[in-house]
């Protein structure tokens, strides 16, 4: 197993020194202080010893060659142990394993395995796999042969476990426990992350639910808005068109009525025909008046002619009867009266003329009656009668003619009046028409005003609609205001649209309250829930691996407990045997110390084996032959050394370490015991390589190779090998 030890700059080995271990037992011999123990310490050092004390130093510097007058001090101390690994006792795939440690003056150490830098821990694990534990049970330093007896029960247990090769399980267990701890930490971390996430996730979940409801609402709103806007657009278009047509018709009617009214009013203010007709009436009336006056004058003339004729006829008759005529007073009076009468009323020229004629006639008649000859008179009278009769006829004819003309004039007047009356009727009709037209015009004006008001109203409705679209767009997106125009409006009352608008408003408010499209919320929810799911999986994995690790720890504990119990039994058997051999009888055994807690029941004891923190220590009980010594403290130095050697050898035999270094373990033995010790060494050397540092010739005689260590004046340890035969010689 152990092939070589290479020491350079370590303690008194200033120069590189190589020790070959080709035989089962190697003895290192030499005078005091030559550096033999330094060789044992070189092993400890290379195997990773951390205690300076166990290498007899205080600082790292103490391990490095300190220098002498011939050799300057070294800066580093290096020791390499070379193992044969053809049997793969180390769990690495090399035939040779070199474990090396170098220490520097600053105290830092470097470890390497086969030349690769490693950590101390890696070295410890590798060694544990080959049953070379860190408690150093296989390196018994000088004066420490009874260390195992002096150490505490717990230290003893550690040594025993180490010797039984349980360290590797411990490593595995510690590793598993470390992993478990880490895993549990991770579980806690993941749990606390999940706990931290949970409220936010719940919040986001609710928000997303809300958003989904809002989305439904938006879809509803979009569909409602499309319907509403399409109908409203169509409605406003239709109304606008109808209004335009109605307005142009009303304007036409208004214009026509206005034009007609202007024309009629003009006609009414310049009534030429009426004036003409009135003038005709006046004319006819004048003519009738003139004819009537003429007729009156004619009647008076007729009266005069009739009177003259009657008087003439009378005088003619009287003249025929009397030749002379007396003039009665009354005739004179009557003449005078006649003149008076005629002149009196005749103021008008025609009347004056008539009166004059009448007076002349009266005077002539008087004269004729009383002055002329009766025949003449008579003749005269007859002519007068004739003339008067003629005149009377003419007057009568004239009167008839006048009557006809008067009649005609009357008829004309009547016609003119009728025409005038008829004309007046036409005027009335016109006025009525004017009134009608004015009324119509006012009506159309009102209609136009009404239509214009409606136009403004439609304009406002259009504006409101556009505003509404804008608002809806901003709340529900472009979809809400994208729609195909309707071919025909639905047959429904306007109140349906009003209801729709109210509903639209309500939905808009609700949607606005729901707030935004929530893209960011959704993204966050997705991210957080994915994270949560990831953490969930992570936790499952962690739980799984924690369970696996617990199982592994349980298994390791069980294995440890089992191996420990088996090992303990075997060590005990060997211990008893070696003890009896050494002391020539008696007995010794290792036992588990009583648990400190109350009620140390069997079950609990087993449990304790499985629970590292409650490990029971190891007690040693000895029973010397022929002595009633029970306590270890009561043993002599030699007895303690023997007991200790028996125990060390027992442990080594049950689970042989690759090598065992015994530094003057035999120092306290007498001759007989030295022989027994030598026998045991030979026995032990079958399973482990032995390196014994000794002054004991008996021990030396059992070694295959002797290394002699010497130290000259330069303080440098030197090595010389002594052949076996020489060794025997030296030993003798």
Q: How far apart are CA 490 and CA 231, in angstroms?
A: 8
Structure tokens of 304? 């005069």
| Piece of 33-41, 244-252, 358-366, 560-568 that binds ligand ATP (CB under 6 A) | 33-41
Smallest Cα–Cα separation from 620: which of 586, 662, 657? Answer: 586
Site string for ligand ATP, 501-530 (x = CB under 6 A): ------------------------------
Cβ proximity to ligand ATP: between 101 and 167 the closer is: 101
Task: Considering only the stretches 62-70, 115-123, 388-396, 584-592, report the one whose residues sit in contact with ligand ATP under the rule CB under 6 A.
Answer: 62-70
- Span of 36-44, 228-236, 443-451, 674-682 interacting with ligand ATP by CB under 6 A: 36-44
User: Least distance from C-beta 19 to ligand ATP, angstroms?
Assistant: 14
Alpha-carbon distance 132 to 657, whole Å? 6
Minimum Å gap between C-beta 31 and ligand ATP is 7
Asked if residue 40 lies in contact with residue 709, where contact means CB atoms within 8 angstroms, the answer is no
Of 8, 17, 25, 36, the one binding ligand ATP by CB under 6 A: 36
| Residue 32 vs 116, nearer CB to ligand ATP | 32
- Segment interacting with ligand ATP (CB under 6 A) among 57-65, 88-96, 215-223, 637-645: 57-65
Torsion of the alpha carbons at 288, 294, 295 and 299, rounded to the nearest 10: 160
For residue 306, what is the enclosing H or E element? helix 272-321
Residue with smaller CB distance to ligand ATP, 487 or 713? 713
Is residue 142 part of the contact set for ligand ATP (CB under 6 A)? yes
What phi and psi values does residue 708 have, to the nearest 5 degrees? -100, 130
Q: Does 32 bind ligand ATP (CB under 6 A)?
A: yes
Phi-psi label, residue 16: left if phi above 0, alpha if psi -120 to 50, beta otherwise:
beta
The least distance separating ligand ATP from the CB of residue 115, rounded to whole angstroms, comes to 26
CA nearest neighbour of 123 among 46, 178, 41: 46
Q: Please report how close the Cβ of residue 58 comes to ligand ATP at its closest, in angstroms.
A: 11
Nearest residue to the partner ligand ATP, using Cβ? 32
Least distance (Å) from ligand ATP to the CB of residue 637?
17
Q: How far is the CB of 41 from ligand ATP (least distance, A)?
A: 7
Minimum distance from CB of 671 to ligand ATP (Å)?
20
Q: What is the C-alpha end-to-end distance of the chain, expressed in Å?
A: 30
The minimum distance between CB 10 and ligand ATP, in angstroms, equals 8
Q: Which of 2, 5, 8, 11 binds ligand ATP (CB under 6 A)?
A: 11
Which residue in 679, 674, 714 sits closest to 698, CA to CA? 674
Minimum separation from the CB atom of position 654 to ligand ATP (A): 30
Tell me whether residue 66 or residue 372 sits nearer to ligand ATP (CB atom): 66
Q: Which two tokens stand for residue 77?
A: 């101390």
The percent helix, strand, coil of the chain (3-state, each to 5) is: 65, 10, 20
Q: DSSP string of 17-47?
A: EEEE--SSEEEEE-STTSSHHHHHHHHHHHT
Asked whether position 694 contacts ligand ATP by CB under 6 A, the answer is: no
Of 26-34, 104-112, 193-201, 412-420, the window that binds ligand ATP (rule: CB under 6 A) is 26-34
Supply φ then ψ for residue 317, to 5 degrees: -65, -45
- As a whole number of Å, the CA-based R_g of the chain is 84
- Kindly list the distances between the CA atom of residue 389 and the CA atoms of 352, 362, 375, in Å, as whole numbers in the listed order: 22, 16, 20
Cα 461 to the chain's mean position, in Å?
Answer: 36
Contacts of 335 (CB under 8 A, 6+ apart): 362, 363, 366
Shortest distance, CB of residue 184 to ligand ATP, whole angstroms?
Answer: 47
CB of 32 to ligand ATP, least distance (A): 3
Which residue in the set 26, 34, 85, 576 belongs to the binding site for ligand ATP (CB under 6 A)? 34
Instruction: Choose one: 59-67, 454-462, 615-623, 677-685; the region binding ligand ATP (CB under 6 A).
Output: 59-67
**DSSP characters over 636-705:** -HHHHHHHHHHHHHHHHHHS--SEEEEESTTTT--HHHHHHHHHHHHHHTTTSEEEEE-S-HHHHHT-SE
Instruction: Quote the tokens at residue 138.
Output: 């296989």
Residues of span 699-728 touching ligand ATP by CB under 6 A: 715
- Binding to ligand ATP by residue 66, rule CB under 6 A? yes
> Is residue 132 helix, strand or coil?
coil
SS3 sequence, 617-655? CEEEEEECCCCCCCCHHHCCHHHHHHHHHHHHHHHHHHC
Cβ proximity to ligand ATP, 37 vs 342, nearer residue: 37
- Minimal distance in Å, beta carbon 78 to ligand ATP? 13
Q: Is 472 in the site for ligand ATP (CB under 6 A)?
A: no
Decide if 45 contacts 63 (C-beta within 8 A).
Answer: yes
d(CA 238, CA 490): 13
Q: Does 35 bind ligand ATP (CB under 6 A)?
A: yes
Rounded-to-integer distance, Cα 640 and Cα 145, Å: 8
Question: Which stretch in 63-71, 110-118, 428-436, 505-513 sits in contact with ligand ATP by CB under 6 A?
Answer: 63-71
Q: Which is nearer to ligand ATP, 16 or 456 (CB)?
A: 16
Q: Count how many residues are written for the chain.
A: 732
Q: What is the DSSP letter of 111?
A: E
Query: Taking contact as CB under 6 A, which single stretch among the options 25-33, 285-293, 460-468, 615-623 is the one that binds ligand ATP?
Result: 25-33
Regarding 33 and contact with ligand ATP (CB under 6 A), the answer is yes
Task: Kindly state the smallest distance separating residue 141's Cβ from ligand ATP, in Å.
Answer: 10
Q: Report the nearest approach of ligand ATP to the CB of residue 664 (Å).
A: 7
CA atoms within 13 A on the CB side of 545: 17
| Candidate residues 37, 183, 644, 689; the one interacting with ligand ATP per rule CB under 6 A | 37
Query: Which strands, in side-by-side order, build the sheet including 96-104?
Result: 17-20, 2-8, 76-84, 96-104, 109-113, 116-118
User: Rule CB under 6 A: is residue 696 a binding residue for ligand ATP?
Assistant: no
Identify which range of 30-38, 151-159, 537-545, 677-685 contacts ligand ATP by CB under 6 A: 30-38
Query: From CA 474, how far away is CA 574, in angstroms rounded?
Result: 95
Q: Is residue 105 a contact residue for ligand ATP (CB under 6 A)?
A: no
Q: Which tokens is 205 given?
A: 């979940």
* Secondary structure class of 591 (helix, strand, coil): strand
Mark the segment that binds ligand ATP (CB under 6 A) among 58-66, 261-269, 420-428, 590-598.
58-66
Q: Binding residues for ligand ATP, per CB under 6 A?
A: 11-12, 30, 32-38, 62, 64-66, 142, 715
């Amino acid at each position: 197993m152990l092939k070589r030890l290479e020491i350079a700059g370590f303690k008194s080995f200033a120069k590189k020194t190589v020790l070959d271990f080709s035989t089962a037992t190697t003895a290192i011999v030499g005078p005091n202080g030559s550096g033999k123990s330094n060789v044992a310490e070189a092993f400890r050092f290379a195997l990773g010893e951390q205690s300076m004390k166990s290498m007899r130093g205080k600082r790292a510097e103490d391990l490095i060659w300190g220098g002498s007058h011939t050799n300057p001090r070294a800066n580093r101390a290096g020791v390499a142990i070379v193992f044969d690994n053809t049997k793969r006792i180390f769990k690495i795939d090399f035939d040779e394993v070199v474990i090396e440690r170098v220490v520097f003056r600053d105290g830092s150490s470097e470890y390497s395995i086969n030349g690769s830098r490693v950590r101390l821990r890696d070295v410890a694990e590798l060694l544990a796999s080959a049953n070379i534990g860190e408690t150093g049970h296989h390196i018994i330093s000088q004066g420490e042969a009874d260390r195992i007896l002096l150490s505490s029960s717990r230290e003893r247990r550690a040594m025993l476990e180490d010797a039984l090769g349980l360290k590797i399980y411990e490593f595995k267990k510690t590793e598993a426990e470390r992993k478990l701890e880490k895993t549990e930490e991770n579980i806690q971390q993941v749990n606390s992350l999940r706990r931290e996430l949970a409220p936010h996730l719940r919040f986001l979940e609710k928000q997303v639910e809300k958003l989904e409801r809002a989305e439904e609402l938006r879809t509803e709103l979009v569909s409602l808005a499309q319907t509403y806007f399409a109908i409203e657009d169509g409605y406003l278009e239709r109304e606008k068109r109808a209004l335009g047509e109605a307005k142009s018709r009303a304007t036409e009617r208004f214009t026509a009525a206005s034009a007609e009214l202007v024309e009629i009013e003009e006609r009414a203010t310049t009534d030429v025909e009426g004036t003409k007709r009135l003038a005709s009436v006046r004319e006819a009336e004048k003519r009738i008046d003139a004819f009537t006056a003429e007729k009156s004058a004619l009647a008076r003339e007729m009266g005069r002619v009739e009177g003259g004729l009657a008087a003439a006829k009378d005088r003619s008759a009287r003249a025929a009867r009397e030749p002379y005529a007396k003039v009665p007073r009354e005739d004179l009076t009557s003449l005078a009266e006649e003149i008076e009468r005629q002149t009196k009323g005749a103021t008008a020229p025609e009347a004056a003329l008539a009166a004059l004629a009448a007076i002349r006639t009266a005077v002539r008649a008087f004269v004729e009656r009383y002055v002329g000859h009766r025949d003449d008179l008579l003749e005269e009278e007859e002519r007068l009668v004739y003339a008067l009769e003629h005149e009377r006829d003419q007057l009568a004819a004239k009167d008839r003619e006048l009557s006809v003309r008067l009649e005609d004039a009357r008829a004309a007047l009547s016609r003119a009046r009728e025409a005038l009356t008829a004309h007046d009727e036409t005027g009335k009709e016109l006025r009525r028409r004017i009134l009608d037209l004015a009324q119509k015009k006012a009506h159309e004006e009102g209609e136009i005003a009404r239509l214009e008001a409606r136009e403004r109203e439609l304009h406002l409705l259009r504006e409101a609609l556009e505003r509404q679209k804008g608002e809806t767009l901003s709340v529900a997106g472009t979809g809400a205001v994208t729609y195909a125009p309707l071919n025909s409006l639905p047959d429904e009352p306007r109140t349906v649209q009003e209801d729709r608008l109210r509903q639209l408003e309500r939905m808009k408010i609700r949607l606005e309250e729901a707030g935004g499209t929530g893209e960011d919320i959704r993204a966050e929810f997705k991210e957080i829930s994915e994270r949560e799911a990831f953490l969930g999986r992570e936790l499952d994995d962690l739980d799984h691996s924690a369970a696996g690790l617990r199982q592994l720890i349980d298994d390791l504990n069980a294995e440890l407990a089992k191996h420990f119990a088996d090992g303990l039994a075997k060590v005990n058997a060997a211990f008893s045997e070696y003890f009896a051999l050494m002391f020539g009888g008696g007995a010794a055994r290792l036992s588990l110390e009583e648990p400190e807690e109350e009620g140390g029941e069997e079950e609990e004891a087993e449990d304790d084996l499985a629970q590292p923190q409650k490990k029971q220590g190891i007690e040693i009980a000895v029973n010397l032959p022929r002595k009633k010594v029970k306590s270890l403290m009561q043993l002599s130095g030699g007895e303690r050394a023997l007991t200790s050697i028996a125990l060390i050898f027992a442990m080594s035999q049950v689970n042989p370490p690759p090598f065992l270094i015994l530094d003057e373990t035999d120092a306290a033995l007498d001759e007989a015991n030295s022989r027994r010790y030598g026998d045991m060494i030979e026995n032990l050397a079958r399973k482990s390589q032995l390196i014994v540092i000794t002054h004991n010739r008996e021990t030396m005689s059992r070694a295959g190779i002797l290394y002699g260590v010497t130290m000259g004046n330069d303080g440098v340890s030197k090595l010389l090998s002594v052949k076996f035969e020489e060794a025997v010689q030296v030993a003798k």
